[in-house]
Structure 1
């Protein structure tokens, strides 16, 4: 146990040094530094083969060269997201809706958020790991909607506290109390349900595989998808608001908010959940197709059988 605590502190010390370096560089230069490093080194890592397989499944029209370009873009975006993370609180709305020098963000669809503020009550914000997804909570909070989310704690508790402190600061701490975060799992799901029932807003990234989820189509293939969003939305008839962060330049973003997805009402709750889950997947697919390099293709999204079949087709006996 002592060795583990010492290891945690050593890892945390390295993390603090990196955060200090990024802060000295500023958001644009730290974004460029991390983006450039990851663009060069990331494609060499074994996990990049997962991204290539995903692209062959989802976008078979891309040739080898195009897939390699997307994978490089994925790593660059991930690196930039890491480099920008210590600066979340300093990247503020400036209204410039075009690439340019300096950090900042603009918004398309602000009327959707303003209507939700006026209406009050619970709302579910749905997105995926696109652009700098860490910018979603602070940008939406600028309109007066501080949504909670599910959270997987870092293995090192010291680093976990550092990460949460940076996120809390981006959401207005210490002037405003921290936004509740819910651990992934049964207890977290119950707490999130109570939060929505009490009128709170919740943000969900629903683009990763959930083995015990609901099957829905994604890029034409069956994909197990978390059903919690559809279940909560239909139970409380609260709006499901799609939104994403588009990267315009280093540390420069556009928050795109779309009108709420219509809630199905067939009289069959299970069918309604399926229809809503599919509608969310369709929206995510539309966004990813438009900017494939902005999505995190590095996780296995589809069933293992599809990957096995893909390799058999590529290397037949």
Structure 2
């Protein structure tokens, strides 16, 4: 019976985590902010500590419906903001059915009635029904080996860009080359650089023959981040993706811009992390911006700090259901 309860809880929590991934893996702070937009009347604010404990399995019971309702709504809003479809796993009513099934399953199967002489020795055939098991919405099919390979090379955002790219467009090829280069896949990067060069991109030809090409690739990633930020100010996720690539390779401007974007989203610890990197790498305005978030940082516990850095260290999650069949780079 105990195994039955544990399995029911684990299955439900796994689906909550999958929903978050489909929404673009919003941070705990972002989920809390988005939960305040839920006006259903049946939800609650998603505090970072509670959300962390539930998704990490520290809580041993299925969470209350008010929390689940708020989590589902926050993920839906996050998906809308990043262009991802988190609703493939069902609307609020579907999640309520799923939550109720998980809650009932965790209570264990009903007790069998004691044997009695008044009961018939054998039930009629019509009454022989299989036991009712909790019904969960099945997750999307697993990724193929090729899809997993592309995800490892480009990351979730990179795979989405790959799907939208024109192999004959030199700028698209250059973007993919920069991603592959900075993620540590030089042969894949060279494939795209050859294509970009053949399409007339001189920068790709220069990068292809540059010995220490990661520094220059980081400069290109920073420029791509600026282009995406200007093109869609309301959805900075792609810009942040390129800024992170460049910032991870010592580009102070990218680290600075990424810190500012995190600050604008209310993610002060992430902002401080990147602004501190930018300051160390020599950006002149980083220290000023860092002082601007210091007051907010003093109100956050060290436990929240550790969780924030754990989130920053997480690899890119699997792509959304609509991204499950990207083209190959060959």
TM bin, normalised by shorter chain, reads: under 0.3
Give the structure with the larger helix fraction. Answer: 2
Higher relative contact order (CA 8 A, sep 6+): 1
TM-score, L = length of structure 2: 0.24
Q: More strand by proportion, 1 or 2?
A: 1
